[in-house]
Chains A and B, each alone.
Chain A
Amino acid sequence: MKKNNYSRYREITGLLAGVLVLFIFMSFAAEGFFGWYNLHNVLKDLLILMVVASGMTLVILLGKIDMSAGSVMSLASIVTTLLLSYGFNIVFALLAGLLAGAIIGFLNGYLVGVLNLNHFVATFATMSIAKGLALVACNGDIISSDSDVLLFIGTGKIFGLFFIVWFAAILLIIMFFLSTKTKFGYKIYSIGGSEQVARLSGIKTSNVYLLTYVIAGVLAAVGGIFMSGKANSGNATIGDGYEFSVIATVLIGGTPFEGGKGGLLGTLIGAMFLAILKNGLSMLGFTPAWQYALIGLAILIAIVADVSINERRKAEEKRRIKL
């Protein structure tokens, strides 16, 4: 549901211009940035980020958050590789990884949408639960996989493009469709706009919360499996801190925490921005430590922009005091 709204259009073009400037800058400044090999890898990383961020976008559109995304990635990674190491079928192992994401997502949705717990606290707790379960299951070890299929998922190519690129593209088209063209997407925007009004319009809000968090959980699991495929191994720390990149992506993409506004298109551009920044910085010779700090700065700028837009909106509303 894009509002044919001039300011949103301007926001998107503004973001896109920023990405373009960053891209051109990195192309000239960072040696080795502009080249098919590197850009193809940037594309892969940005699409993994985007898959997880598209689930997060729906959650943030509801005016909520999912702190457990990174831990769910780790859990899915461990569940899949562990089952493979026990000799289970690859399809079964992959489905089990996705199921793990769905279960944590369902738990999140239940805590937030049915029990009405604070979304931050609830998903903060499940973040620790998922991470803990992953660590317990693998005993803290890295689990190597000898599955060709998993390796193909992470590194294989079809028609010259990574499998991940094809897969993520299809997934994202489905997500775009889901969020803009379906009743479900419509309800997300209604609840994010005003939960009170949505409920008083007869929308069953708890179901929307449940489904949204399950989708976010499954997509985080997909991200975790992609990451495992890249290394062809499972690791309980694979998603550590990833939720911060994901939330940053959504915020930079212009979907504010208050909910009901923004959408996946912005998140896609936000993902481009972060992926190019991260890769370019390492090409420029910044250590990962510096990358952390600079990405933090980008998040800060996004949040400050989010807050200042909100403040301006509130100031505007204050001027028209309601009777």
Chain B
Amino acid sequence: MDETILEIRNISKSFSGVPVLEDINMCIKKGEVHVIVGENGAGKSTLMKIISGVYKKDKGELFFEGAPVQINSVQKALSVGISIIHQEFNLLPHRTIGQNIFLGREPIKSHFLKTIDYEHICKRSKELLEYLGLDLDPRTLVYNLGIAQQQMVEVAKALCFESKVLIMDEPTATLTRKETAKLFEIIKKLRSEGVSIIYISHRLEEIKQIADTLTVLRDGKVVGSLSIEDASIDQIIRMMVGREIKDQYERHYHTHGEEVLRTENLGAKRFSEVNINLRRGEIVGLSGLVGAGRTEIAKTIFGEDAIEKGSVYVYGKKYNKMNTQRATRLRIGLVPEDRKEEGAIVEMSIRHNIIHAVLPRLFKSSVISKKIELSVASKYKEELNIKAPSVNKLVKLLSGGNQQKVVIAKWMCADCEILIFDEPTRGIDVGAKAEIYAIMSQLVGKGKAILMISSDLPELIGMCDRIYTLKDGKVTAEFSRTEATQEKILAACV
């Protein structure tokens, strides 16, 4: 039990100059369940992707069974004995369970014709499935399986590789309570046979049931590792937060104006019975862990996802249906989480990106005046301090912070009254972050209303007048600016 199987020494990684992992040291013992926790963006997934060969590390070493190993590809990781089950499964839906388990290393029947020994595949797959307690025919198409069963196929695949370390990234996120219990049984069974499991989770209540050891990551650093007997939930939460709220959040608080947005028992994919409201001159935060339904609420209010239950009130008028055209006409703007896919057309110029959402308002006839276009785009470029030689520059050539400013400029140009910011500072350097905060402050100063989603608790507390917390698609609490602390919010989210 005390034998170390995988040791991580001084691993660092940064993406385009932003450090994501700094000097990570960790020991995984043989036959233990090692849980890694941390807020969104703490670096858990990046670390797992380095161990499993998806990303290359910048610095540091890995030791497997005491010997140094170079893991530079997924194949290498598998051959060493490290498997990962991602949140998104890597299965071919239109192939059978057996074909998926043996994908890429099908046994050969005749060496001359290179025919595949499908009989052997089915026999071995059946054994693996039985071992996992599943009564499934290996000839079933994966397409026909439920999520939990698909996950088991992934586990079977890892077993088939004779993996000694199995990484599971939030395996219970999409499982029911019953399925979770079954998964835990299997994890315990694997552990008893000497397989080490690295388990990433947000759900603190389930960690107590399953973990042997716990490591907390925060801002790309290890806060500490401890045995589960020594850890209490309160202590874990304290370790997860801890960062000081600095004075970078420039907020002037105003008296709030009338209500501009309210949801009444709003429900759709992944959330239900959401009642929140937003007034002029106010920044309201939505806090919750990944999968709690924050982005879905934003997209439903903006009309990208359909409203299934309840309604949205905009300026006091009730809407049971919403679409993006209506939302933009009502002067709602969404600054999405994924700015390269959803926020800006990166292959196009700053100019095009700023004005393309406001064509109807900017030009009375259907003809576009290049002069007006240029002057409007330049005005916002100045106002938001978008750093580029000209408005004709392609957005993909800008830094993350400046790309985000282009997206904000688009909605300012559209004269939006209600702005939804989804993770507005993710992947943005510190200087640009402060600028984005200043822009948001200015906007509410002018009487606009902002709904802000962020995983960065200090940022959320620093910027918001009120914060709603979400868990599993439901609002769990509401905190005013004076009440909110990182501990209270996190406790309401997990």
Contact = CB atoms under 8 A, between A and B. Distances in A.
Contacts of B359: 183, 186-187
Contacts of B357: 201-203
A1 to B, nearest CB: 6
Interface string A288-323: 000000000000000000000000000001001111
A183 B352 CA distance: 11
Contacts of B18: 323
Given A260-B347, A322-B427, A202 B324 contact: yes
B349 interface: yes
Interface stretch (A43-51, A92-100, A190-198): A190-198
Contacts of B20: 323
A39 to B, nearest CB: 35
Nearest to A197: B345
A203 B85 CA distance: 39
Q: How large is the interface on B (under 10, 10 to 19, 20 to 34, 35 or more residues)?
A: 35 or more
A4 interface: yes
30 contacts: A3-B392, A5-B349, A181-B368, A182-B368, A183-B359, A183-B367, A183-B368, A186-B368, A190-B345, A190-B356, A193-B345, A193-B348, A193-B352, A194-B341, A196-B341, A196-B342, A198-B345, A199-B304, A200-B304, A200-B343, A201-B410, A202-B324, A202-B327, A202-B329, A203-B325, A204-B325, A322-B427, A323-B18, A323-B20, A323-B427
A183 B363 contact: yes
Q: Which of B347, B356, B394, B414 has the most CB of A within 10 A?
A: B356
Interface residues of A, number: 30
A187 B16 CA distance: 32
Contact of B15 (A197, A260, A323): A323
Given A194-B345, A203-B357, A182 B352 contact: no
Interface in A169-214: 181-184, 186-187, 189-190, 193-194, 196-204
B400 interface: yes
B352 A189 contact: yes
A261 B340 CA distance: 17
Nearest to A260: B347
Nearest to B392: A4
A295 B487 CA distance: 70
Contacts of A204: 325
Interface in A223-276: 260-261
A200 B368 contact: no
A43 to B, nearest CB: 30
B319 to A, nearest CB: 15
A204 B329 CA distance: 12
A260 B345 contact: yes
B146 to A, nearest CB: 27
A1 B370 CA distance: 9
Contacts of A260: 345, 347-348
B208 interface: no
Contacts of A181: 367-368, 370
A322 B423 CA distance: 14
B191 to A, nearest CB: 34
Contacts of A199: 304, 324
Contacts of B329: 202
Interface of B: 15-16, 18, 20, 302, 304, 324-325, 327-329, 334, 336, 340-349, 352, 356-357, 359-360, 363, 366-368, 370, 392, 394, 396, 400, 410, 414, 426-427
B488 to A, nearest CB: 28
Contacts of A5: 349, 392, 394
Contacts of A197: 341-345
A202 B331 CA distance: 10
B347 A261 contact: yes
Given A5-B349, A196-B342, A201-B328, 12 more contacts: A5-B394, A186-B368, A187-B356, A189-B348, A190-B348, A193-B347, A194-B347, A200-B343, A202-B357, A203-B356, A261-B347, A322-B340
Contacts of A323: 15-16, 18, 20, 400, 426-427
Q: Which of A187, A203, A321 has the most CB of B within 10 A?
A: A203
B345 A3 contact: no
A198 B356 contact: yes
Contacts of B392: 3-5
Most B-side CB within 10 Å, residue of A184, A186, A197, A323: A197
> Which 6 A-B pairs have CB atoms at the shortest separation, nearest pair first?
A202-B328, A323-B427, A193-B345, A201-B357, A183-B359, A194-B345
A211 to B, nearest CB: 11
A313 B276 CA distance: 43
B356 A186 contact: yes
B377 to A, nearest CB: 12
Contact of A200 (B334, B349, B360, B427): B334
B328 A1 contact: no
B327 A186 contact: no
Contacts of A320: 16
Contacts of A201: 324, 328, 356-357, 410
A66 B324 CA distance: 28
Contacts of A196: 341-342
